[in-house]
Amino acid sequence: MSINFAKEPGAPAGDDTDRPEARQIAAQQPRDTSGQGENARMARAAGVVGGATLLSRLLGAVRDIVIASFFGTGLVSDAFFAAFRIPNLLRRLFGEGSLSIAFVPAYSDVLYQQGRAQADQMANSALRLVALLLVAAVLLGLFAAPWLVHLLAPGFGKIADKYALTVDLTRLMLPYVFFIGLVSLCMAVLNVLGHFAAPALAPVLLNAAMIAAVGAGAFLTRSDTQLVRWLAVGVVVGGLLQLLLQVPFLIRNRVYFWRPAGLWHPAFERIAWMMGPVLFGTAVYQINSLVVTLLASMLPEGSVSYLYYADRVVQFPLGIFGVATATAVLPSMARQSAVGQYDALNTTFSHAVRLVLFITLPAMAGIIVLREPIVALLFRRGAFDGASVSLTASALLYYGVGLWAFSSVRVVLNVFYALKETRTPVRMAVVAIAVNIVFSALLMGPMDHNGLALALSLSSVCNLALLTAALRKRLGPLGWRQIAGSAVKSAACATAMGFCVWGLARWLLPSWAMSGVALATRLAACMTTGVIIFFALAHALRVEELRSVLDSILRRKVRQGTSETPAKPD
């Protein structure tokens, strides 16, 4: 469909020079409303984000290996992970969560309806306003750190040394919130403009800075409590490096942030109205994770660390596939909503959900079957002993069963936010958080930290079920029959693959207590065999998503029978 960019009454006089540019951006959209061309772009964008995230996750695994080697699962590691969760939670809530999700649809509307000049002004104003708010948040956090630790890890108050160390580390790492908040805003702007690589690569610098900080500290101090402070400083340095990485890419995309701009733009009113509901709606996983940490602080020492390391393993496929697809699909759906291509939006959503399930279901099966050798390979060294491996692997089992739901929720939520619908996610979030609290209270007694992991997975499944039911009621079928058919095929392939890998692992990996090289080689053989089996079964069952994955891996342009001839602007 074509888009009319005629100047609206009251539009700024200087916008005429930018109107052709806005037309050029809009002209890149497919003429048809099937959404197939958008699916190709979305799949390629998800491939870029997923590839960059893979690199980040690999370096993140090295980071966690280093932390596990030096600190194990004791007092110091518990204090660091509890303290790091506070700025990390703020990053996920206000940075990668509500800020970017609320900003992308509003920025897309301004860009496609009012032109690039207004969009640039909005971006520059947002940068100044967000920076000011982040400074205030950091200062408030520095003052309130003792109360935050009491609130988020109440069990630590019984151990004076652990509590004091957690407070110190929280204060050291809070400036990270300032840097990563601005990174998230830059990410939203660049994603709408079609650039995904630099924002996705940013976490690589955080992981590198943390590894370097531990390495430097190890040469300069022998005390674990001093070394962990070096690690906290590395977090802040990593945040700064992530922000600096975005600058040349902003300039390349002609976002000149030093140009004069006020603190307010008219579009901010819409963002402000969305921020609260979006914050709560997208924060379900983070709030539930916070509940897990809070309750785990009341369990035996090491419980916080077991859950952290298990969550880190789950975040590997979640970030590469689930979050990458959700990140890539939001600008596409926001653009389709802004120009009224609702049929195309439906197709894009259906394709994204099928793609996420196609990838995460076999990943879930692999994690469940190979959980102990995975944990042993990643973390069993130094202070991380065999008991830590077993207890972390048991938590990973219960986190793993919810991987498909964790990933799918992000995509479903982004449909609501692309349509600027915020009330429904909030209502469903309240129910999901209540479910997590109830199940946590019921399960942590008989199952210890494993019960907390299972409760989080169950609450995510509940949240996904409620959101999809509400979305179907609002927008109709949305291709649910096609989604269900693809999901059943993917689940069947993943189940068969899981049994095959389980049988192979019993032969190749009778025990995970072997040398690192032997464990890595045999684990890689099991994983490679699993991938081959899954892809072969998917090909035999003619699962359509296999083609999208292969095209993304091979970086080929996808053409699925529809013309991608640019539409002519009115």
Each residue's pLDDT tens digit, 361-375: 999 999 999 999 999
CA-CA distance, 140 to 541, in Å (whole number)?
56
pLDDT confidence bin for 316, thresholds 50/70/90: confident
Q: Which residues contact 491 (CB under 8 A, 6 or more apart)?
A: 357, 361
- pLDDT, residue 36, reads 55
Average pLDDT, stretch 38-53?
Answer: 70
Residue-range definition of the domain harbouring residue 387? 34-553
Q: How many CB atoms lie within 10 A of CB 480?
A: 15
When pLDDT is cut at 50, 70 and 90, the band that residue 19 belongs to is very low
pLDDT at res. 458: 95
Task: Give the chain's mean pLDDT.
Answer: 82
**HSE on the CB side for 140, CA within 13 Å?**
11
Which residues touch 41 (CB under 8 Å, ≥6 apart)?
Answer: 332
State the Cα–Cα distance between residues 496 and 414, nearest whole angstrom.
Answer: 32
Question: Does residue 21 fall inside a structural domain?
Answer: no
Confidence band (pLDDT; 50, 70, 90) for 554?
Answer: low
Average pLDDT, stretch 233-260? 93
35-45 CB burial, b ≥16 within 10 A, e <16 = bbbbbbbbbbb
Q: Is the pLDDT of residue 459 over 50?
A: yes
Higher pLDDT residue, 20 or 523?
523
Amino acid, res. 459: S
Q: Are 169 and 232 in contact (CB under 8 A)?
A: yes
- Flag whether 560 is in a domain: no
Task: Kindly give the interhelix angle for 116-152 and 175-192, rounded to the nearest 10 degrees.
Answer: 150
What is the pLDDT confidence band of residue 8, given thresholds at 50, 70 and 90? Answer: very low
Task: Kindly state whether residue 23 falls inside one of the protein's structural domains.
Answer: no
Number of structural domains found in the chain: 1
For 131-155, what is the mean pLDDT? 90
Which uninterrupted H or E stretch holds 408? helix 403-418
Burial 381-412 (b: 16+ CB within 10 A, else e): eebbeeebbebbbbbbbbbbbbbbbbbbbbbb
User: At which residue do the structure tokens 């050291």 appear?
Assistant: 172
State residue 115's pLDDT score: 87
Q: Is residue 546 part of a domain?
A: yes
Predicted pLDDT of residue 320: 72
Split at pLDDT 50, 70, 90, the class of 28 is very low
Query: CB of 453 within 8 A of CB of 321?
Result: no
CB 524 within 8 A of CB 330: no
Tell me if 334 is assigned to some domain.
Answer: yes
Does 114 reside within a domain?
Answer: yes
Instruction: Look up the pTM and report it.
Output: 0.68
Domain-located, residue 559: no
Report the pLDDT averaged over residues 131-158.
90
Residue of 526, 128, 77, 121 lying closest to 302 (CA atoms) = 77
Confidence of residue 92 (pLDDT cuts 50, 70, 90): low
Q: What is the pLDDT of residue 378?
A: 86
pLDDT in tens, 390-445: 999 999 999 999 999 988 988 888 888 888 787 888 889 889 999 999 999 999 99
pLDDT digits (tens, 9 = 90+) for 167-216: 999 999 999 999 988 998 998 899 888 888 888 888 899 999 999 999 99
pLDDT at residue number 570: 32
* 371-389 tens-digit pLDDT: 999 999 888 877 788 889 9
566 pLDDT exceeds 50?
no
Q: Residue 313: inside a domain, yes or no? A: yes
